[in-house]
Amino acid sequence: MNFTELLGTSFPTVQTERIKLRKLKLEDAPALFNYYSNENVYRYLDWNGPETLERSYEVIHFWNEGYDKGWIIRFAIANKETDEVIGTIFLSEFAGKRAEMGYELSEEYWHRGIMSEAVKEVLSIGFNQLGLVRIQAIVTEENIASKKLLSKFNFKEEGCLRQFECHSVTGECKDMLIYSLLNTEFSKKNI
C-alpha cells in the first residue's frame, strides 16, 4: 500500500482534547530517550528502546524515513500544551488492506485515557482515510493494560502465536496474542 497517495506527502497531524499526533522531530530525541529509559515502558516490547541519546536521533530518522518509503506511519504522541513527546503510536506491516498497530507511552501518563485518544484517531485514519479492512495488534499475555485497551475498541482476540516474538536484547522468545478489528466493527462515535 502506498499510503502517501491517500494521505499526501505531508505527514498528517491530528489534535485531540489533550494530545497532538504529529511527525517526530529530532528535537524529540531527549524526551524519547528519557521515557524509554524506564523498564516499565519497554517491558512488553521486543526491544529496550534507544540505548543512548545518539541512538534516539537515529531511531527518529529511521521511523521518518519509513514514512517516506511507505512502510510505517509512526506518530509522536505529544502533550498538546507543551508539545513534549510522551509516546508513539504506529501503523505498519501494510499488506493489501491490512496493517498492524503498536504503541508505547511514558509511565507518567498511564491510566489517564491518553492512549485511548491516540488509538481512536489512528484507527480512524486507518479505516476512514487509508481504507483498511483490518487492523491487528500483537501483545504479550501478561500485558493486561494493552489487552483492556484493545477490548475497549472492540478488538477480538484471535489466538496465540507461539514463541512469536524474540526480544532483540535478551533473545527471549514469547508467546503473543493476536487481536484484530475490522472496519465494519469500528465506530469512532461510540468510543
> Would 53 be classed as within a structural domain?
yes
- The pLDDT value recorded for residue 6 is 66
For the CA atoms of 20, 21, 23, 25, the dihedral, rounded to the nearest 10 degrees, stands at 40
Mean predicted confidence (pLDDT) in 67-77? 93
> Would 46 be classed as within a structural domain?
yes
- Tell me the per-residue pLDDT of 139-161, one tens digit each, with 9 for 90 and over: 998 899 999 999 999 999 999 99
Looking at every residue in the chain, the average pLDDT score rounds to: 90
Mean predicted confidence (pLDDT) in 63-91? 95
Instruction: Specify the number of domains making up the chain.
Output: 1
- Tell me the per-residue pLDDT of 1-33, one tens digit each, with 9 for 90 and over: 666 666 766 889 999 999 999 999 999 999 999
CATH of the domain at 50: 3.40.630.30
- Tell me the per-residue pLDDT of 79-138, one tens digit each, with 9 for 90 and over: 999 999 999 999 998 988 999 999 999 999 999 999 999 999 999 999 999 999 999 999
48: pLDDT strictly greater than 90: no
- The pLDDT value recorded for residue 4 is 65
> Would 50 be classed as within a structural domain?
yes
d(CA 91, CA 102): 7
- The pLDDT value recorded for residue 171 is 74
> Would 159 be classed as within a structural domain?
no
Cα–Cα distance list, 176 to 136, 143, 179 (Å): 12, 10, 10
d(CA 173, CA 43): 13
- The pLDDT value recorded for residue 139 is 94
- And the C-alpha cell for 190? 461510540
> Would 103 be classed as within a structural domain?
yes
Kindly report the number of other CB atoms within 10 A of residue 97's CB atom: 15
- The pLDDT value recorded for residue 21 is 98
- The pLDDT value recorded for residue 125 is 94
- The pLDDT value recorded for residue 46 is 73
Mean predicted confidence (pLDDT) in 166-182? 83
> Would 61 be classed as within a structural domain?
yes
Reduced to 3 states (helix: H, G, I; strand: E, B; else coil), residue 26 is helix
39: pLDDT strictly greater than 90: no
Domain range for 46: 11-133
Burial class (CB in 10 A: 0-12, 13-18, 19+), 81: exposed
> Would 150 be classed as within a structural domain?
no
Mean predicted confidence (pLDDT) in 62-69? 92
Residue in 121, 85, 90 with CA at minimum distance from that of residue 103? 90
